[in-house]
Amino acid sequence: MRNRAQLGEARARREPRGDKLAFDGEVTEALPNAMFRVRGDNGIIVLATLSGRMRRHYVRVLLGDRVTVEVTPYEPTRGRITFRHRG
């Protein structure tokens, strides 16, 4: 089990926790209820939703934005948007 200092370090480096896989991609379609279709740099198309932290801080995601998506190895077609890249 990780202690608080280790959890803080993982969040600061934006590492996914546990067995989640993270990759970067581009938002290709905006759907209702904060859902987005994201095409990853590796060619995978994922149906992704905003993470709770992004909803809480009112981070807006638009078409064409570069984002980081976390997916589980059990369901690689669904994911969670955890970070919106600037620029």
Q: List, in order, residues 6 or more apart from 62 with CB less than 8 Å away.
A: 27, 30
Whether residue 61 has pLDDT greater than 80: yes
- One-letter identity of residue 8: G
For 12, 15, 41, 48, the CA distances from 52, given in Å and listed in that order, are 17, 16, 24, 13
Per-residue pLDDT reduced to its tens digit, 45-59: 999 999 999 999 999
What percentage of the chain has pLDDT greater than the value 90? Answer: 75
**The domain 17-84 is classified under which CATH number: 2.40.50.140, 3.20.20.60, 3.10.20.30, 3.30.43.10?**
2.40.50.140
Q: What is the pTM of this model?
A: 0.78
Q: What is the pLDDT of residue 6?
A: 57
d(CA 47, CA 37): 5
Kindly report, residue by residue over 11-32, the tens digit of the pLDDT. Answer: 555 555 678 899 999 999 999 9
